[in-house]
Amino acid sequence: MPTIKLTARTVETLKPPAAGRDEWWDSSLPGFGIRITDKGTRSWVLMYRMSGGGPKRRMTLGTFPMLPLAEARQAAGDALQKVERGIDPVAEKAAAKLRDSTAAQVRPPDTVASVAAEYVERHAQRNTRRPEEVERLFRLYLVPTLGDRDITTVTRRDIRDLIDGIIDAGKPVQANRVQAATHALLVWAVGREIIEINPAAGLRRQTKEKARDRVLTNNEFRAVWNAIDGLGYPAGPLFKLLILTAARRDEVREMRWSEIDFQKEVWTLPADRSKNGVAHPIPLSTVAREVLGEVPRFPGVDYVFSARGSGCCYTNLQKPKGAIDRITGVTGWTLHDLRRTAATGMGELGVSGETIARVLNHSERAIAGVTSRYARADHSASKRDALEAWAQHILNLASPSLDV
């Protein structure tokens, strides 16, 4: 595989192979590289040869992102220094492991960090919609505080202190997310017989989250829509489709060309990216199709909103959001508020609550008064009419001659 300059960004965007594994080598440190399997596992590796000759040796340094790039490169450099002194780091590691296994007659304790890593690999990667978010919460909050601890010694007080520390740092909502992820980890650890009881069981959330109800006024919305035109690709069309489809932020951000049927004028959100686990056809209004028609396409890239034409979808949404705030003076809103504004706007246009709920892809159970027979009906026409009316309303609202 080629030699490239390894950066944290590069490592995150390298695509797994279709089968087997790929290895990418660092141009700044010979022999140091990253191995990526078809399962998406990223492991730091070091290839070296002892001064006396012989075959090359391979050393695994750790996995990304649990072991960051800077620490992995430092570990590789330390190992190469040993090679220069005639010490084989692989043989040294094997000898140390043998000594430890001989000296210890019992299994070494499972640390919080090791169990968290195993949980992400064995459970979160396969069973959660956003495993990278689970890993991020562990890496930033759980592991720095409790990572070295034997997980069997973690108490309810330890969990509470962890959550209180995040709240004291001014991140009360984040504290709830960490508590939920930690609770799920401990439930899994009980099921794997790593621990006997879950110390976080029954621990109430320390922060009561208030549901947002921010809806942009007509004047605010017109200013925001018109400011979006100045963003360019990929943020500009991405933000417009957030408004035109009323879809969730990451659903639009991760949109693929292969999900769009331009003949049927439908974007179908697949079940594995849908919050309720059900495929969701979203009719594309005339305006939405015009927006997509101006989006550039890059060879071999399926993402509609690609980061500089690479294989990765666009991620930096806060920077263009901040630019809109500065241009318009409209503040105190989030990208999710665009979805709520769209739902409110359709309601003001006379669209029924049931149709709005279907446009938003709420579960059938959540749509009150719908019988099982009626729930199986095709609602594409009503959704298309609603989104078409909403798109035309946007154009009328954004007209500079309209007094709102």
CB contact at 8 A, 179 and 159 = yes
Tokens of 305: 């909103």
Q: Who contacts 223 (Cβ-Cβ below 8 Å, separation ≥6)?
A: 328, 329, 330
pTM for the whole structure: 0.54
The pLDDT score that the predictor gives to residue 250 is 86
Amino acid at 311: G
Q: Which of 44, 77, 90, 40 lies closest to 63, judged by CA?
A: 44
The pLDDT score that the predictor gives to residue 264 is 93
The pLDDT score that the predictor gives to residue 276 is 74
Pairing status of strand 266-269 against strand 3-4 = unpaired
Q: Who contacts 127 (Cβ-Cβ below 8 Å, separation ≥6)?
A: none
Q: Which domains does the chain have, with CATH numbers?
A: 3-90 (3.30.160.390), 112-191 (1.10.150), 218-398 (1.10.443.10)
Q: What is the full per-residue pLDDT of the chain (404 aa) written as tens digits?
A: 578 888 888 888 888 988 888 998 998 898 999 999 988 899 999 998 887 667 888 889 888 888 899 999 999 999 899 888 888 888 888 887 777 666 555 567 889 999 999 999 999 888 887 788 899 899 999 999 999 999 999 999 999 999 999 988 888 888 999 999 999 999 999 999 999 999 988 888 877 766 667 888 989 989 999 999 888 888 999 999 999 999 988 899 889 999 999 999 999 999 888 877 788 999 999 999 999 999 998 888 899 998 766 667 787 888 899 999 999 999 888 888 889 899 999 999 999 988 999 998 876 554 544 433 344 445 788 999 999 999 999 999 887 654 44
Extract long-range pairs of 129-136: CB within 8 Å, 24+ residues apart.
129/273, 129/275, 130/250, 134/181, 134/184, 135/65, 135/66
The pLDDT score that the predictor gives to residue 379 is 73
CB contact at 8 A, 254 and 236 = no
The pLDDT score that the predictor gives to residue 266 is 95
The pLDDT score that the predictor gives to residue 258 is 94
